[in-house]
Structure 1
Amino acid sequence: MTTASKIALVTGGNKGIGLAIVTGLAAKGFTVLMGTRDPAQTADELAGDVRPVQLDVTSQHQVDALAQHVETEFGRLDVLVNNAGVHPLLFRPLDHIPRPTEEIVEDYRNVYEVNVFAVVRMMNAFLPLLDKAEAPRVVNVTSMRGSLGEPGAWAGQPSMVYSSSKTALNALTAHYAREFAGTKLKINGAAPGHVATDFNQHRGTRTPEEGAAVAIRLATVDDDGPSGEVYQDDTRLAW
């Protein structure tokens, strides 16, 4: 069994916000498992101890295999960042954001499978390994679009599919945190803001590093830090 200071797993870690989270945690001395569907296509030069691992979060077989690998190699998991996510715009032209009445059941299946169901799959598989860590942390990468009460959350024409998937993710965060209240495990949501990524053909106004900062902070929060909350930068969102 390999000895390491702290072990982090980041889903969807090979590009965009995920890669910035991987890089930031590695800079803090973590051994970071970069979850990606194709480890062969990851960047060759990454500073720190970054290890690409095969992970399609929609595959129960791959999730279980990775959990077994982490248990054998490290015996625990200190940080899980559920970053992998999709948006209907990945399947539609960017210049036409569909109105709620234009979105179809198949859109929900595609998006919820990654943004919601996969988080449950990851939690079920890795909670036993998180329980073996001294100060385990879970960060679910969400969005202000998932808020039902934050002013400005629904500015413009948001996708009902994407927004509701993040609302559901926020609910999962709250329920998991409630179950583990009073324990060493802290579970929070990180909203990165309007980051330039593949989601929006890089039309966002923030860099991946700016968006990743809140997730990195919550992944390394002290024992007296929050749990069951959602933050964008240093602001707690009213969701």
Structure 2
Amino acid sequence: MSGTEARGVCLSIVSHGQGRLIRPLLGDLLALRERLTEVIVTLNIPEDEAFLAEFQDRLPIRVLRNAQPKGFGANHNGAFAASTAPFFVVVNPDIRLRDFALDALLAAAAEPGAGVAAPVVYASDGQLQDSARRFPTVARLVRRKLGGPQGPDYSLGQVPLAVDWVAGMFMVFRREVYASVGGFDDRYFMYFEDVDLCHRLHRAGLRVLLLPQARVIHDAQRASRRQLKYFVWHLSSACRYLLTA
């Protein structure tokens, strides 16, 4: 991969009033700034933008402000439409990058036949998260809800692994690949939009790759997930996927 290609990267981060989480992520990105063309931060709701000020002169930050809140996929699709870089990277606000192997992910995403490349995800306590899974079915979803197996669906080795789908916490796409499948489906407000996109990549004959040598830390903030609206979003998205996949 040439130096020009390695620098042609747009990172898309969406904030739902999460400046406190995004600030340390932007700090981590300083180590990668020579490879970054754009860091698009979408403010889904109004918030104090002070967390951006100290990085405006050190990172190529562009801020998008929504008049009305949008869903996960719609926000990243909007960032993609505003971007120009040959690689488009979807990043959650609560991701941390320490000793991060960006070049390995870019090289994997650039391979012929690759649809998306993703790192292995660890929790802040060091536990491996199940960020790469087999496609959900009614039976699998029921087993998980009833306390069935909760561990990773795949065993990690030393080489990139082709999987069914990867979570939208960190996804690396070639620009032309993302555009060819239409990006995320805006009809998913939250949840299953990453499953759906990976399913469409598979249908297009493209691989979903998990890279053991690339690792990120997910500093999960899960308290709000207990609210009823999150359950409703999850249930409606699951039904949409299962009925259309």
TM-score (norm 2): 0.34
Higher relative contact order (CA 8 A, sep 6+): 2
TM-score (norm 1): 0.35
